[in-house]
Chain A
Amino acid sequence: MTHEGCFGRGAVLVLINDDASDVAVGYGKDVKRDPGMAARHCAKLLSLGLKNSKRPKTLVFEFVSGPTVPKFPFLTQKRIIRNRLIGKLFALGAGLFLRYFQKGVGREEELLEELEKQLPNSTIIGGSTLDANNLISNYQFLNRQVFTNSVVALALKTDHMFHTGSGFCQSETPVKFRITEKIGNGRIITKLDGKPAAQEFLKRSGWSDSDLNERLYRKTFHRTLGFKHNGRLYPEVIGAIYGEGIWLGYRVEGDELVLLTTSGRRLVESVNNTLSAFSGLENNFGFIISCASRMETLGKSVYLSQRNISLFFKDKPFLLLWMGGEDIASEQMPRHHANYCFNALVFN
């Protein structure tokens, strides 16, 4: 999304001519197999590229390979399979698929954690690359190279002032679940309150089995799961339901999940609320990462947000990217990888 409109395909190019920044690029491969190693390799390249810079602030834009729906032999790529036996097999095979075929969850939260550790005192903003929201494949680009399962990043050492903000539109309902069994490093929930997870989630969300279909992201946007950690809410995209296992986008911290709710109106309002944090400043360029599910939910009404953002930035440029997971870490915003978010970085 730019001043010019909203686009679901094609390419958007930003050209910046800037004498007040030094630039470096980096990458790390095999994120799904070893996100720590990928982050360290990427951070090393960025640090090397900027080692002679004396500018005071460091800003990192990172784009990481997002989750992909695993393709199991003899089965099509599906988000909903209610057969319990297949569900169990999928859960057992998930780790192997991740390690050997690099298909499955993105492990972006692990990558962001390590990247922040390697690049202390940096502001990091970015997210998970994806396709047309089908989660079949995704690519990362760096100079003339094309990667999969990788992270690519651009770092600036800069004299510019910038601020960050973050918002989401979900709010907690009174419905809470105690996680009594989770596997896959805390990303697959198999039991809630001692009962099979998918069944319990559907029952207490007021949904029937037939309500769920391959349009899972769109359907669960209005009623999804999340958890609280260090006083912050982490909304989760429900990536798949295999048997009784609920496959979430990233690792759940703690053992409590809460049912979250939202509406299209609140979705638009959350954008305005986030941007209001920058009002009163001279905003020269906005870089925004927004969850693709927000776009998927709003459809053509995303132009309502576009109008508001465009009015906010007036004649100054902005670029909004829809991504499969949103990362932010800054002095103002403690490290946060989540879904359904609207993260903004504004140069002042």
Chain B
Amino acid sequence: MSDQKIDAIIHVLDDLLNEEDILATMVKSSGVPPIAPPTTRFKIKNFAIWQLINSSVDQSLGLVDAFYNAGADKLYLEIAEYEIVFFVIDRSTVLIAVIPALANKGLLEIELENARRELRGHFRR
């Protein structure tokens, strides 16, 4: 993947972090390192959760792959005071965001959907 494309993806993720309730975000494709804005931009207080996501994200890709042909679209995982949202970009790529468990998810979903559409454009190019 070219540096230009990575920069464009980071730009989309960084813009998502302007949402008060998007605490951390990344894009992960199987077989390649995650793409994420600098962690200094993250608002997540329990960083151990983020490290846990980082270390286990390949397993979520396995789940997406298993259900992809059935129309897998998004996954929610509630952990303590956080929710981890996985928006499927394609069979081997997910957009991941960490939000507070009690956030207004509807509004955030719209922003995540807009980001997903933009990211799909970058991955297809």
A: residues with CB less than 8 A from B are 5-9, 132-134, 213-215, 217-218, 295-300, 302-303
Contact = CB atoms under 8 A, between A and B. Distances in A.
Contacts of B20: 132
B102 A8 contact: no
Nearest to A303: B113
Contact of B110 (A214, A215, A218, A302): A302
A215 B102 contact: yes
Contacts of B117: 5
Contacts of A214: 102
B109 A133 contact: no
A9 B102 CA distance: 19
B112 interface: yes
Given A9-B19, A132-B20, A215 B104 contact: yes
B105 interface: yes
Nearest to A301: B109
The 4 closest A-B pairs by CB, nearest first: A299-B109, A296-B106, A300-B113, A300-B109
11 contacts: A6-B110, A6-B113, A8-B107, A9-B18, A9-B19, A132-B107, A133-B104, A296-B105, A296-B106, A297-B106, A299-B109
A134 B104 contact: yes
B114 interface: yes
Nearest to A297: B106
Contacts of A8: 19, 107-108, 110-111
Residue among B20, B21, B104, B108 with the most chain A CB within 10 A? B104
Interface in B80-117: 102, 104-114, 117
Given A9-B19, A214-B102, A215-B102, A133 B113 contact: no
A303 B113 CA distance: 9
Residue among B105, B107, B110, B117 with the most chain A CB within 10 A? B110
A341 to B, nearest CB: 17
Nearest to B102: A214
A218 B101 CA distance: 13
A218 B106 CA distance: 8
Given A9-B19, A132-B20, A218 B105 contact: yes
Contacts of B21: 132
B104 A132 contact: yes
Contacts of B112: 300
A6 B112 CA distance: 11
B102 A295 contact: no
Nearest to B21: A132
Contacts of A298: 106
Contacts of B110: 6-8, 295, 299-300, 302
Given A5-B114, A8-B107, A8-B108, 12 more contacts: A8-B111, A213-B102, A218-B104, A295-B106, A295-B107, A295-B110, A296-B106, A297-B106, A298-B106, A299-B110, A300-B74, A300-B109
